[in-house]
Structure 1
Amino acid sequence: MELTGLLPDFGNLAFTILAFLAALTVIVAVHEYGHYIVGRWSGIKADVFSIGMGPVLFARKDRHGTSWQIAAFPVGGYVKFHGDANVASGSADEDAMAVMSAEERRHTMHGAPLWARTATVAAGPIFNFVLSVLIFAGLALATGIARDPLSVAKPLNVPGMEEGLREGDEILSIAGYDMPALAEFYTIVEKLPDTAQVGYQVRRDGQVVDVTATHPFPALVGSVTPKSAAIDAGLKVGDFIATVDGTPVPTFNTLREVVLNGDGAAMTLGILRDGTPMEVTLTPRRQDLPSADGGFETRWLIGITSGMVFEPATRTPGLWESIGSGGERVMYIINSSLSGLWHMITGAISSCNLSGPLGIAQVSGQAASLGATSFISFIAMLSTAIGLINLFPIPVLDGGHLVFFAYEAVTGKPPSEKVLNVLLAIGLSLVVALMVFGLTNDLFCP
């Protein structure tokens, strides 16, 4: 793939880079602040808290003696604790430590008790997970969740809705299927006929009324996936897909079947955008997706999710409900990531599923182009991924340091300096190799 092929159609390289750096800066700042604040609570002093690497552009020292700085290259950050030989906190500055008193050594990373060092190192990834949970919870609080019983807040302006559902209608049944509790709504959606219109029974102004309206899930674009055929082709949220290669697709399920059975052939979509008919041509892509049994399945996809034919009435969830929902999303991302990594290692799915910095930057820009909600959700997902990666038991990563601490807890002494340096070199080599592999995927995978 040409490098220019990674540039999104919606904008330019500068926008993509800015979006990526904005996301990365937030995530790195939270990660490093976790190390810093838990270290401070544990009695470990920090000499430097840096956002960015390289030459210092701005610095200010606080009353705790920590220099807070912004460096020239916004591609990471670090906390340099008192007594560290370098910003990686992997080894001590032996000369400095040798002249410290016992009390001063207690305030260094290398002289602190094992529990304090463990808590300080683990705090970085944990803060990443907390950030993700809070973002997902905040989005739930801001946007609300569908109210039970399912009711119409606003019918969309799509074909077949002219005399159908109205604002305030409470859905009692669809196509003869009584509405269950909202949590089970999709069980009846799967049973609905694949017809452009279906019958609804609604409660309207206190009266039970039968109406005919558009299928609740027509071929309507509810969201567009970054780095997909749909976003490359310019599809937008709200586009109503009426035909594929001239053949009507009355429901989203019909569209899905057409794409699945198309064997990756290019297709022309006839769409309505704000009432204006137009055509879009795209080519589906094979993708590996998590399946319900915990495995993966490979399917042809164009990169959209379905939208409902009406905006459901919502309620504002409680704080704990929102946090619980955010926690569930973070756990889903972690489980899917670990499962995907295992399936790549075993060869069950393509290693092209692993993106490098260019691919992540591209997704950053595309997520930003889709709106604030999409970009904020992307930050939460990326924060979870970075927290998870940092827990891998690889020397130079936080997980590697935690393994060293576990060894110390069992044996009563840390690994020797010589062994530690060798392991750190191996870990650095692994991380660099992984980055190169991801970059290769960015350039050459379809």
Structure 2
Amino acid sequence: MEIFAALGGTVWTVFFFIVALSIIIFVHEYGHYIVGRWTGIHAEVFSLGFGPVIWSRMDRRGTRWQLAAVPFGGFVKFLGDADAASVRPGDTSGLSAAERRHTMAGAPLWARSATVAAGPVFNFVLTFFVLAGLLLYSGMPQEQPTVGKLMATPFAGPTLQAGDVIVAVDGTPTPDLAAFRDATRALPPEPVVDYAIQRGSDQISVKGPHPYPALVSMVLIRSAAMDAGIKEGDVILKAAGQDVTVFAQLPEIVAASKGAPVPLTIWRDGKTFEVTLTPRIRVTEDADGALIEKYQIGLGSGLVFEPATRNVGPLELVTLTGTEMWRQVSATFTGISHLITGQISTCNLSGPIGMAETMGDAARNGLESFLGMLAVLSLGVGILNLFPIPVLDGGHLVFHAYEAVVRRPPSDRALRVMMSLGLAVILSLMVFALTNDIVCV
């Protein structure tokens, strides 16, 4: 990573975008390939990328695996296909009945449908396993609020230590995390708080920093904060000339700026420095979960300590990962509906440049951030491919549904017309999104 960072931001961004996209496309196309193989449809070519072939190998099943020079796509060409889209059958007159069974056109409808649907399904599976892996790695906070690691702050003096169990905050009992969250919401914006803690066999009282000081726990990708070089662990001391003691004060100050530059005084590793950020309008969720647009500088808050964690059980892992995937799917469709109805700006629709910048920024935040965005992008690719647009997998499934109802596939002429219309729609969306990447700030 240091080598790519030294070469410059553009090289870094393009490299990690290609890495992420290649993983997602490989998994998508492998879904088509392996389910096709399981259902008796022979793949002639499995290509990662388009254009001139730079490497290829024929396996023992007669499938040519290849890497092509243009790394922004891929395809599986099945036996008898006229092209990589697997919509129009080629000339199969020279094939026997047994050989035709191994083509996409000659396979039973169930086999064709399963092969087509497998691409998006494998994208969902990739998202599930990445999110589950991240959850297994990070663990879940222990039920009792327990200090795992205390973050560095300007606070001086005896305070919380790793292993401390927080029994009460400013006199409010905190028997579990829910009670701890409720207690912290009721705290005044004071820099110092009284804690009752269980330390070993002793219960003692100590003073410490507010549970939610103006501590940066996350720098959002493609944000003013990331562009300015703010890092996780930084502490905001002042914003727009106002003292900041808790993070909750910062959004109000940024919103009041109405897009004007906001000067910040930042503490990092015992030193302070000044930086000025210009807020950007971004989509976020309000208290009711609805999507709204507001000015943001791109910082996330966190506790003054990392909570001690526990291992996640198998059933809990599946439940939590499935819930997070469903939340992301719901947010995707909510965002699309808000774009269509004009409730949020169309500038929130990113094209390839925006996606590349997103993956580059995620990589700068670390491996966990990169993998998290990889999961989000894979889920998005799976959802997009299920849209009922010809040339996409969802369009193929619509053709198969038509065939199941009327007992015959659409005519070649109808397929050509619909494929042309579908391609026009996709290209129009790509041009629109690319324009957003260039025009929108």
Matches within 5 A, 1:64-79: 64-79=61-76
8 Å CA contact 2:154, 2:270 repeated in 1: no
Match of residue 16, structure 1, among 13, 38, 43: 13
Aligned partner of 1:205 in structure 2 is 200
Q: Which residue of 1 aligns with 2:293?
A: 298
Could you tell me which residue of structure 2 aligns to residue 433 of structure 1?
428
Q: Does structure 2 conserve the Cα–Cα contact (< 8 Å) formed by 1:161 and 1:214?
A: no
Contact 1:35 1:120 in 2 (8 A): yes
Q: Residue 38 of structure 1 aligns with which residue? A: 35
The residue that corresponds to 1:261 in the other structure is 256
2:118 match: 123
Indicate if the aligned counterparts of 2:154 and 2:267 stay in contact, CA closer than 8 A. no
Per mean C-alpha deviation after superposition, the further-off stretch among 174-183 and 188-197 is: 174-183
* Cα distance, 1:323–1:161 mapped onto 2, change above 3 Å: farther
> C-alpha separation between the residues in 2 aligned to 1:137 and 1:445?
34
Partner of 1:392: 387
Residue segments in structure 2 that go unaligned for 5+ positions in a row: none
Asked if the contact 2:151–2:233 (Cα under 8 Å) also holds between the matched residues in 1, the reply is no
User: What is the TM-score normalised by the length of structure 1?
Assistant: 0.95
Return the alpha-carbon distance in structure 1 between the equivalents of residues 6 and 355 of structure 2.
Answer: 16
1:179 matches 2:199? no
Kindly state the Cα deviation for residue 9 of structure 1 after the two structures are TM-superposed: 12
- The residue that corresponds to 1:88 in the other structure is 85
In structure 2, what is the equivalent of residue 401 of structure 1?
A: 396
SS at match of 1:76: strand
Contact preservation (8 Å) 1:155, 1:161 = no
Shift of 1:182: 2.6
**Aligned equivalent of 1:3:** none
**Which consecutive unaligned segments of at least 5 residues does structure 1 have?**
1-7
Residue 190 (structure 1) shift: 2.3
1:270-312, CA deviations, whole angstroms, 9 ceiling, x for partnerless residues?
1111111111110111112234545321211111111211111
Provide the C-alpha distance between the structure 2 equivalents of 1:10 and 1:189, rounded to a whole number of angstroms: 45
**By how many angstroms is 1:105 displaced?**
1.2
| Aligned twin of 1:62 | 59
Matched, 1:50 2:33: no
Matched, 1:156 2:151: yes
**Residue type of the partner of 1:61?**
M
Give the deviation of 1:372 after TM superposition: 1.0
For structure 1, which segment, 321-330 or 300-309, has the greater mean C-alpha deviation from structure 2 after superposition?
Answer: 321-330
| Counterpart-to-counterpart distance in 2, 1:141 and 1:152 | 19
Distance 1:192 1:136 in 2: 33
Check the 8 A contact 2:240/2:253 in 1, yes or no. no
Task: Indicate which of 207, 210, 216 corresponds to 1:215.
Answer: 210
Letter in 2 for 1:134: F
Partner of 1:284: 279
Contact 1:138 1:322 in 2 (8 A): no
> Which string of whole-angstrom CA distances, capped at 9 and with x for unpartnered residues, describes residues 44-103 of structure 1?
11001011111111111111111111111111111001111001111100x2x1222221
TM-score by length of 2: 0.96
Equivalence for 2:368:
373
| Percent identical residues | 49
Give yes or no for the alignment of 1:413 onto 2:426: no
Greater Cα offset, 43-52 or 298-307: 298-307
Give yes or no for contact 1:48–1:79 (8 Å, CA) kept in 2.
Answer: yes
Alpha-carbon separation, structure 1, partners of 2:98 and 2:340:
47
- In 2, the alpha carbon distance for the partners of 1:429 and 1:310 equals 52
Looking at structure 1, the residues matched to 270 and 375 of structure 2 have their Cα atoms a distance apart, in angstroms, of 35
How many positions carry a matched residue from both structures?
A: 437
Provide Cα deviations, 1:389-433, integer angstroms capped at 9, x if missing partner. Answer: 111110000011111111111111111111111001000000000
Other-structure match for 2:313: 318
Residue in 2 aligned with 1:5? none
Amino acid at match of 1:163: P
Report SS of the residue matched to 2:248: helix
Distance 1:91 1:218 in 2: 61
